[in-house]
Chains A and B, each alone.
Chain A
Amino acid sequence: MNNIAHSFKVKIYGLQEYSLMLVDIFKGLSKFWRTWSDAVNEMYWIGARAFLPVLLGGIFVGIILALETGHQLDHFGAKTLVGRTVSLGMIRELGPVITGLLLAARTGAKNASELGAMQISEQIDALRAFGTSPVEKLVIPRTIAAVVMFLPLTAIADMSGILSGMIVTKLSLNVDTSFFWHSALSALLMKDIFVGFIKPFFFAFFISTISCYYGFSTRGGTVALGKTVINAVVVSSLIVLVLDFIFTKVVWELL
């Protein structure tokens, strides 16, 4: 019982610390210009270097979506509607979620391990000792870079998924590409695009801040660093799914 109470207390304390870090992030945004070069560097690592995994992720999800739904729709003589399911599925749900999960693993692991190693080697204390806020120097550039880069990456996942879905529909189900595009575009509404492209901002913000928080909270040695990275990736991935549910259930119904 005591262990449960202690564990609960630790979780509440962690939540408090994370909330205080978020306050520091918003306070420090006005000084962002001082670390813009760090943000540009992070954009390269978070964005440009993630291009290939996101592209491949989008391609394979698009292929699977087209094959699975195409064969089911074929039973009802409605295989020309594959374009509709692929475009809606990719833009509203799978594009942002696949990008979010891939980047939760990639960016989350990078942030947590880098900041965790800096914490263990006292570099975070050194920054504070030399008058630099670790949040302003390390968290804000990473978060801004993630927020900026997640949107184009999601667009890449969406487009590669739809294009691969189109190709596989043509080759496997013999549906003409013009039917595919007509079905895909006629089903898409402005609110689908809006919801699909607002999600990455939130995913990016939470993946980046959560993984940085875990990095800062690392205590101990290499074993602790391993646990930090695992926790950061797992929690970031779960947050992507929870936020996706919130957007799908709540925001979608409100619009």
Chain B
Amino acid sequence: MIEISKVNLELGEKVILKDISLSINKGEIAIILGPSGAGKSSILKIILGLWQPDSGKVYVDGTNITGMSEAEILPIRSKMGIVFQANALFDSLNVEDNVSYFLKEHSKLNSDKIKEKVAEILSFVNLQGTEKICIDQLSGGMKKRVAIARALSFDPDIILYDEPTTGLDPINSKSILDLIKRVSNRGATSIVVTHILNDAISIGDTLSVINEGKVVQTGTVHDMLNSGNQFVKDFFYEVYQDAALLKK
């Protein structure tokens, strides 16, 4: 379980997060939804301990990670995998070396076992046989799958996705969303940051709508559709429009 309590963050003179509180239960797909620049990705970086908040606390499985040093936070990070918005694949390495990076650095598995594990994960993300391909030879959708495979390589309990379908065509987007659901079905807690409403509705168990660094509303899709908050209504206007069209 992840709990964010009254977190504030400023970068330079810009306020990024204002008094953010969120609670994410084990095994669920939690969506953090909001417009670009709302502070969504910052929440992921704070959960992972890459950024420290100015105030507030972040608990991962009951452990307060705020103020921890890089060495102290390492065991916590080893429970979390992340898929970055721009994938952040190591472009000097091939697919196999990217996926096996964590295992080579931190596990005691021998090279044969690591190869076996990489093949198994690549097969799970439908990229079997791509081990020796260089990163710059992959399409956008394939890069996203490799990024997901890398995040899954050490069987983390929590997976963070930063805008997983941004920049992908509808078919690739759908396959990535299906993949996120399949990963979730393996028991992992998933936190997905997105600004794409359809993605949020199609895979999210709970949604938290963020605007200008504040949580506007948290709840299920049903709660959002019945929200009285004007920002939520504006954000979900496409759904109302589609419903109106369907009625016609």
Using CB atoms and an 8 Å cutoff, list the residues of chain A in contact with chain B.
121-123, 125-126, 128-133
- Partner pick for A130 among B45, B86, B101, CB 8 A cutoff: B101
6 contacts between A and B (CB under 8 A): A121-B86, A123-B91, A129-B82, A130-B101, A130-B102, A131-B78
Q: Does B48 contact A (CB under 8 A)?
A: yes
Q: Which residue of B lies closest to A127 (CB)?
A: B90
Please measure, in the bound complex, the distance between the C-alpha atom of A142 and the C-alpha atom of B106, giving whole angstroms: 22
Tell me whether B84 and A122 are in contact (CB under 8 A).
Answer: yes
CA distance A38 to B82 in the complex (A): 25
- Which residues of B (69-126) have their CB < 8 Å from a CB of A? 70, 74, 77-78, 80, 82, 84-86, 88-91, 101-102, 105-106
Q: Considering only CB atoms and an 8 Å cut-off, how many residues of chain B contact the other chain? A: 21
Instruction: Tell me which residues across on chain B come within 8 A of A129, comparing CB atoms.
Output: 48, 50, 77, 80, 82
Question: Which residue of chain B has the shortest Cβ distance to A117 in the bound complex?
Answer: B91
Question: Which residue of A126, A131, A132, A133 is within 8 Å of B84 (Cβ)?
Answer: A126
State in angstroms the CA–CA spacing of A123 and B92 once bound together: 11
Q: Are A125 and B105 in contact (CB under 8 A)?
A: no
B70 CB contact (under 8 Å) in A125, A128, A130: A128
Determine whether the beta carbon of A125 is less than 8 Å from that of B88: yes
CB <8 Å contact, A125 and B50: yes
A131 CA to B75 CA, complexed, in Å: 9
Set of chain B residues within 8 Å of A123, measured between Cβ atoms: 88-91
Which of chain A's residues have a CB closer than 8 A to the CB of B77?
129-131
Cα distance, A80 to B205, chains bound together (Å):
88
- Tell me the complex Cα distance, A23–B84, Å: 29
Return the 4 tightest CB-CB contacts between A and B, nearest first: A122-B88, A126-B88, A122-B84, A130-B102
Shortest CB-to-CB span from B240 to chain A, Å, is 35
Residues of B within 8 A of A125 (CB): 45, 50, 84, 88
